Amino acid sequence: MALAKIPSVTGRAVNVPGNDIDTDRIIPARFMKCVTFDGLGEFLFHDVRKNDDGSDKPHPLNEPRFKGATILLSGANFGCGSSREHAPQAIQKYGFRAIIAENFAEIFFGNCTTLGIPCATAARSDIARVAAAVEANPATEVVLDVAAQEVRFGGQRIVVEVRATARDALVHGRWDAIGELLDGLPAVQSRARALPYLAA
Amino acid sequence: MTTPKSLFEKVWEAHAVRTLANGQTQLLIGTHLIHEVTSPQAFGMLRDLGLKVAMPHRTFATVDHIVPTDQLVEPYRDPLAQAMMDELRRNCAEFGITFFDRATGKQGIVHIVGPEQGITQPGTTIACGDSHTSTHGAFGAVAFGIGTTQIRDVLATQTMALGRLKVRRINVNGRLRPGVYAKDVILHIIRVLGVNGGTGFAYEYGGEVFDRFSMEERMTVCNMSIEGGARAGYVNPDQTTFAYLKGRPYSPSGAAWEEAVIRWKSFASDPGCHYDDVVTIDAASIAPTVTWGINPGQGISIDERVPDPTQAKAVDERTSIEEALAYMKLRPGTPIKGTRIDVAFLGSCTNGRLSDFQEVARFLKGRRVAPGVKAIAVPGSQIVALQCEKLGLDRIFADAGFEWRAAGCSMCLAMNPDKLVGDQLCASSSNRNFKGRQGSPTGRTVLMSPLMVAAAAVTGAVADAREVFAVNQN
Ligand code: SF4
């Protein structure tokens, strides 16, 4: 299976500030009653974006000037909570292609990588610089250079980190493991024969 | 002399197939558990790729998140829930997967069903598209919560790509004080180590407290490893483990049993093995613990006051305290004890097992739920329900004013009809107190042990179960 190589992501960015933004906040559980992921995007951050009557709450994603942003900025421990892939799926279906945050919850990070969404970590003060530039001019072009581990925007540059395994997978188009895992099936079968509990 | 190894290393090595180009390991997953919420999309991906299930005999399904606990007949009132149910049935039939459907009498929360059936065994690897898969580590298994794409990978290849974890040994030594339970132990651990203190680690729990713990208590602790950021958590297998497994439907029997026990023992961590980190906690320092905020690490002992943001040491801490208190509608610096509750929920994969209901029933007998409090008791599986009913526990709960429900995840999360309304505050034996977790965007959750839930139910407020039920004298 040939997968796209993702050495960088270029687009506009939006800052959704806060620490410990959990998967239930990203996509409330009641929207997960679905048998396909299509349509999850519109419910991204639903409960912090919408009032009970369906009207908008103040939230960066509700601001027209940030419409079309493809890079999401946030704080520490982003994506904590559930292992459900609905959260990264909702983020992707909404239109985001990359996330830059102080750090990420483990499972969420893995789930994003598997979907080809680079998750870059950066110092809070550096994320604040990107956020300030975007705030001042939402049309600012932001480049997350996965390979070079840096973000370039409006003539500025910050250092980010994309964990080596994820970086390698994204840059070389190996972010979805299925092809390689299938190649290993003969080895899987022989390994399985050595484990009595796997006998049919 | 071979180098001493931890259980994690031994299980990892026994299941490592090969190293992938990105340096991750292709890890054989011996047991794959699936449920209705996270599997349908994975089956869809499988079909799109024209792939089959590699080891249907090592894949087991149940239905838990969406099942109504007050309605047994189908179609369910919620057509979406029914659609998920139908989809799981169809997938299991098409791919030849064992499905513990309600009609089998073995249905329940996936993390209760696996152990109950003897499917969860020491020295094995287990994956499930559910964060609380760490529960199964109580048996000395290495068990991971995975995402939908990984479910697809495990379905198609019985393996997944994974980087090796570090191991942190957590010793809890000494004796727990009366009225302090496994739930308090894990809430305390998360409070001390933080909600992401376990990132990159598997937690190995040990020490005198774990040696004495029953399997169900070990499961309660392992269950919430993920709330401390640890992808997996486990306890080394011992006689308690083997005694629990003996005679279960999927446990080995006859000569195979003896062999299995010998093999299982060999997986336990060797004395002197390397740990990447060691943390030791004195059991006597653990009090009945409750959460006051919006993540499971925001916990305090029942005697403490909720934090005051002005006392915070860092800006960050201050902001997160302020956010949590505003959401919880709690005033800074006030005692948590006495906070009025609206709902009491007993159940979930953390505390929905027989011993949880037995312990509560022991104290609840003859007491009444406070007026105005909605109290529900939800067994984690049909088997747990039956065991409780045989012992007459259902009547004790009903007499006290609890609704006795059918098995499922219920009010642990908002995917079935059991939901909070408005800003109701729920004393809950579940594992997550995130904003909106229990079904209302403004609903509030206070996590605690089952007995503390009962104490809150009968007094109508967050209370110290030791006082309410005179626990010390029992
Ligand atoms: S009881 Fe709660 S935490 Fe456990 S599997 Fe069900 S929803 Fe998840």
In chain B, CATH 3.40.1060.10 sits at 167-230+270-285
The pLDDT of residue A199 is above 90: no
Mutate to test the interface with A, among B11, B22, B419 (most CBs of A within 10 A): B22
Chain A: give the shortest CA distance to residue B406, in Å.
20
Q: Does B206 touch chain A (CB under 8 A)?
A: no
Give CA torsion, residues B177, B180, B181, B186, to 10 deg: -100
φ/ψ of A104, rounded to 5, equals -125, 150
B214 touches chain A (CB under 8 A): no
- What's the whole-number mean pLDDT along residues B218-238? 97
pLDDT cut 90: percent of chain A above it: 81
Residue B474 has pLDDT above 50, yes or no: no
What are the C-alpha distances in Å from B239 to residues A111, B249, B265?
37, 19, 9
pLDDT at A29 over 90: no
Contact (Cβ atoms closer than 8 angstroms) between residue B409 and residue A82: no
pLDDT of A83 higher than 90: no
Are A177 and B199 within 8 A, CB to CB? Answer: no
For an interface test with A, the pick among B150, B248, B259, B423 (most A C-beta atoms closer than 10 Å) comes out as B150
Give the closest residue (by CA) to ligand 1 atom 6. B409
Mean pLDDT of A85-109: 94
Q: Does A87 fall in a domain?
A: yes
Joined tokens for residue A147: 């390979």
Residue A34 has pLDDT above 90, yes or no: no
- Of the candidates B198, B323, B316, the residue with the CA atom closest to the CA atom of residue A125: B316
Tell me: pLDDT of B2 over 60.
yes
Task: Supply the CATH number for residue A20's domain.
Answer: 3.20.19.10
The answer to whether B155 and B43 are in contact (CB under 8 A) is: yes
- pLDDT tens digit sequence for A137-177: 999 999 999 999 999 999 999 999 999 989 999 999 989 88
How far is it, in rounded angstroms, from Cα B39 to Cα B18? 26
Provide ipTM, 2 decimals: 0.90
* Surface-to-core class of residue A58, CB atoms within 10 Å of its CB (0-12 exposed, 13-18 middle, 19+ buried): exposed
Chain B residues near residue A86 by CB distance under 8 angstroms: 148
Name the class of domain B289-468: alpha beta
Element (H, E) at B183: helix B182-193
Distance CA B182, CA B159 (A): 32
Instruction: Please report, for chain A, how many H helices and E strands are present, in that order.
Output: 8, 8
Atom 2 of ligand 1: nearest residue by CA position = B412
CA distance A142 to A124: 17
CB of B183 closer than 8 Å to CB of B429: yes
In this complex, which of B149, B158, B434 lies closest to A115 when CB atoms are compared?
Answer: B149
To the nearest whole number, what is the mean pLDDT of chain B?
A: 96
Full strand arrangement of the beta sheet holding A98-101: A13-15, A71-73, A98-101, A119-121
Is the bond preceding residue A28 a cis peptide, omega within 30 degrees?
no
Contact assessment for residue B290 and residue B302, using Cβ atoms and an 8 Å cutoff? yes
Residue A49: band (very low, low, confident or very high) from pLDDT cuts 50, 70, 90: very high
A2 within a domain of the structure (yes/no)? no
Q: How confident is the model at residue A59 (pLDDT cuts 50, 70, 90)?
A: very high
Q: Model's pTM, two decimal places?
A: 0.89
CA-wise closest residue to B210 among B167, B173, B264, B261? B173
Asked if A111's CB is within 8 angstroms of B147's CB, the reply is yes
For chain A, percent of residues with pLDDT exceeding 70: 99
B166-173 and B159-162: which strand pairing? unpaired
Q: Which of A86, A106, A194 is opposite residue B231, by nearest beta carbon?
A: A106
The residue assigned the tokens 């269950």 is: B223
Q: Would the CB atoms of A188 and B21 count as touching at under 8 Å?
A: no
Q: Which amino acid is at A151?
A: V
Positions of E strands within B244-317: 277-282, 289-291, 299-301
Q: Residue range B236-265: average pLDDT?
A: 97
Those of residues 50-109 in A touching chain B at CB distance below 8 A are 52, 76-77, 80-86, 88-89, 103, 105-107
Q: What is the pLDDT of residue B473?
A: 53
Checking if the pLDDT of B371 tops 70, the result is yes
Q: For B306, which DSSP code?
A: P
- Residue B189 belongs to what H/E stretch? helix B182-193
The number of helix segments (H) and strand segments (E) in chain B equals 17, 19
Q: B167-230+270-285 has which fold?
A: Aconitase; Domain 2 (3.40.1060)
Residue limits of CATH 3.30.499.10 in chain B: 7-165+239-265, 289-468
Q: What residues form DSSP beta bridges with A100?
A: A73, A120
A149 within 8 A of A159, measured Cβ to Cβ: yes
B200 pLDDT higher than 70: yes
- Domain of residue A87 covers 8-174
Cβ neighbours of residue B95 closer than 8 Å, sequence gap 6 or more: B43, B52, B53, B56, B59, B155
B313 vs A34 pLDDT, higher one: B313
Please tell me the CATH code under which domain B7-165+239-265 is placed.
Answer: 3.30.499.10
Minimal C-alpha gap between A91 and chain B (Å) = 14
Q: How many residues does chain A have?
A: 200
Amino acid in position B92:
C
- B414 and A29: CB-CB below 8 Å? yes
Q: What is the tens place of the pLDDT at every residue in B373-412?
A: 999 999 999 999 999 999 999 999 999 999 999 999 999 9
- Residue located via tokens 């594992």: B431
Ligand 1 atom 1 nearest Cα = B348
- Of the candidates A29, A114, A196, which has its C-beta nearest B149's C-beta? A114
Cβ-based neighbour number of residue B359 at 10 Å: 17
Q: How confident is the model at residue A76 (pLDDT cuts 50, 70, 90)?
A: very high
Cβ-Cβ pairs closer than 8 A, A with B, add up to 197
For residues B153 and A110, is the Cβ–Cβ distance under 8 A?
A: no
Residue A1 has pLDDT above 60, yes or no: no
| Number of separate domains in chain A | 1
